[in-house]
A and B are shown apart, each in its own frame.
Chain A
């Protein structure tokens, strides 16, 4: 089914907006907006979400194209990593005398 069939109101699709800020290392989800296509979504994102100088790079993704993990999978998806505590630096006890590490 095309978008047109599911959208009798002719509503502009919803886009999810990701922005990398001046000092940011990666793009972060900042919110959503409506736009007729990707090109306008980028422009609208610039106008809506960077009014206070927040961004240097913008990604847009049509909301319905996003596949999200289901909350009921929360156990199998994330719990295994909880047992791998050795992946976190605080797992290791280094004597203060050694200095910063």
Chain B
């Protein structure tokens, strides 16, 4: 159970860490100041959640590592985030579409985790949920506005959806570890979250006048760590640069 729990916590913390990192790349480059500030808020929320998830992961592992060690000193194959969140930002529409898809999943997940039999997990989920409900509201509103907006914005949002949809499926992938945690009442099966996600997606993407791709194909390999995309390695070379170049230094 310990290994499954550690893996589960890495999946949570790595998703929020890598997505936060991607969003933070927008700082100073967003389409308008108000969006710049809003994106930074989301990145900051996710970074705070990362500290909680990876902090608990380090505690559960009991190997003397800290949340920072886990973030800065693991190589790509040890990361457990979904491929969706490590993909490059693309244009603002792609960033918002990715955000929306992740938020829709994230709200469903945290709603369930708030009732986890593991009190530490329930507490992190309850705190995160308040932030993520707002993320969802904001990304949904933006996706609707840009989908419905101008001809160009509509076309870009449809392209973003077509591009990202097959990467959302991985969020619901379920393995033996998930079953073990589910049996213990610690976490829901990811596959169980799909229905709630679909309801949210259908409602919002409908209002956005966008068509959900018909494919049922889903990319995979991030949450199992078996095959990340090439992008994660490049992200880590930046994120981990100082810790790797000056081992043991205190900052």
Is there any pair of Cβ atoms, one from A and one from B, under 8 angstroms apart in the complex? yes
Q: Hey, which bits of chain A sit against chain B, CB under 8 A? A: 12, 33-36, 39-40, 43-44, 46-48, 51
B126 within 8 A of A: no
Instruction: Give which listed residue, A33, A34, A43, A48, contacts B138 with CB less than 8 A.
Output: A43
Contact B141 A48 (CB under 8 A): no
B37 within 8 A of A: yes
Instruction: Give which listed residue, B32, B41, B137, B138, contacts A51 with CB less than 8 A.
Output: B41
When C-beta atoms are compared, the residue in chain B nearest to A35 turns out to be B34
Question: Residues of A contacting B212 with CB < 8 Å?
Answer: none
Q: Give A40 to B138 CA distance when docked, in angstroms.
A: 9
Contact A40 B145 (CB under 8 A): yes
In chain B, residues 137-158, which have Cβ atoms closer than 8 Å to a Cβ of chain A? 137-138, 141, 145
Q: Hey, which bits of chain B sit against chain A, CB under 8 A? A: 32-34, 37-38, 41, 134, 137-138, 141, 145
Most chain A CB atoms below 10 A, which of B34, B38, B145:
B34
Contact B34 A44 (CB under 8 A): yes
When C-beta atoms are compared, the residue in chain A nearest to B149 turns out to be A36
Knowing A12-B32, A34-B32, say if A44 contacts B141 (CB, 8 Å).
no
Question: Residues of B contacting A47 with CB < 8 Å?
Answer: 34, 37-38, 41
Question: Residues of B contacting A44 with CB < 8 Å?
Answer: 34, 37-38
Contact B141 A40 (CB under 8 A): yes
Contact A33 B41 (CB under 8 A): no
Question: Residues of A contacting B37 with CB < 8 Å?
Answer: 44, 47-48, 51
Question: Residues of B contacting A46 with CB < 8 Å?
Answer: 134
Q: Give A69 to B138 CA distance when docked, in angstroms.
A: 36
Q: Please, could you name 26 A-B residue pairs with CB atoms under 8 Å apart, sorted by A?
A: A12-B32, A33-B34, A34-B32, A34-B33, A34-B34, A35-B34, A36-B145, A39-B141, A40-B141, A40-B145, A43-B38, A43-B137, A43-B138, A43-B141, A44-B34, A44-B37, A44-B38, A46-B134, A47-B34, A47-B37, A47-B38, A47-B41, A48-B34, A48-B37, A51-B37, A51-B41
Nearest CB of chain A from residue B109's CB, rounded to whole Å: 23
Q: Give A36 to B35 CA distance when docked, in angstroms.
A: 12
When C-beta atoms are compared, the residue in chain A nearest to B42 turns out to be A47
Question: Residues of B contacting A40 with CB < 8 Å?
Answer: 141, 145
Question: Residues of B contacting A43 with CB < 8 Å?
Answer: 38, 137-138, 141
